[in-house]
Amino acid sequence: MNVGFIGLGIMGKPMARHLINGGHRLFLQSRSGVPAELTEAGGTACESPVAVARQADVIITMVPDTPDVELVLFGPHGVATGLSKGKTVVDMSSVSPIETKKFAARINELGCDYLDAPVSGGQVGAQNAALTIMVGGPQAAFDHVSPLFALMGKNITLIGENGAGQTCKVANQIIVALNIEAVAEALVFASKAGADPAKVRQALMGGFASSRVLEVHGERMIKRTFDPGFRVELHQKDLSLALSGARALGVSLPNTATAQELLNAVRADGGARADHSSMVKALEKLANHQVA
């Protein structure tokens, strides 16, 4: 396929590279510039989203937040200006489910399909083509784009109509945040009680408390390796979507709110761009003890 890819950061760059390696022709654009390694691999750099849309049949966006998606799609020189009937827009960012439905309706009015397809798995998942991809949109569009998804991920699910993919991603981020908080609490407790946190983690990995978060982020907490990964500020954005959605639905998410406040504390201490496993630092300050 002729594929457009807009947003070539920590996640987008390896995802685009997998598509190039899969034999597709890539048209690339990013506000930070197109990495040389992608053009050297065969990708074509474009000056604007509209230039991408004119040349590609499937246009993928992978940008940080809801306003960024709106700007890329509908701003000056946006994707919508370059679309013609029959093309497909795929937003793989993590953004508002409510706004996603509005974006889809506007793209549909132009005679094009829209899929919301946020991902989970972080930088490691993107690099290893092992992302979980949660998709909202029509079955026919999903079937059309599935060969591209298969080059970037392993667990690919059509959840439902437009917006359902983003709703699933919000649910995912709730679970991840609360798991990080639980692992952080457990390691702070064990460490302050005098137990070796590395050996505690090793023991727990063989029991019912075992999880991917304990495996990866528990190790980060012990080794103090907080380079992202997935940034605190991005997880804050996702939890804000969860809490605002909960208010609209009349649902209480008390532990999600607590996790958000801990991330707020980390960010206030200069950690906005650190990995979200650094949530442990807020709990360490409350305990006056560092996991080590």
Residues carrying an active site annotation: 169
Beta carbons of 120 and 131 less than 8 angstroms apart = yes
- Please tell me the distance from the alpha carbon of residue 31 to that of residue 47, in angstroms, as a whole number: 9
Instruction: Count other Cβ atoms within 10 Å, centred on residue 62.
Output: 28
Which spans in 64-163 are helix H? 66-74, 79-82, 97-108, 122-127, 139-152
Which CB contacts under 8 angstroms, 24+ apart, belong to 142-149?
142/115, 144/58, 144/88, 144/113, 145/58, 145/88, 145/90, 145/115, 145/117, 147/1, 148/1, 148/3, 148/19, 148/22, 148/24, 148/58, 148/60, 148/90, 149/117
C-alpha 123/C-alpha 113 separation (Å) is 28
Break the chain down into helix, strand, coil percent, rounded to 5. Answer: 55, 15, 30
Residues ≥6 apart with Cβ < 8 Å to 279: 177, 180, 181, 184, 232, 259, 262, 263, 266
The residues, ordered by sequence, that sit 6+ positions from 41 with a Cβ below 8 Å of its Cβ are 17, 20, 21
Closest C-alpha to 38, from 47, 50, 25, 49: 25
- Residue keyed to tokens 């594929």: 3
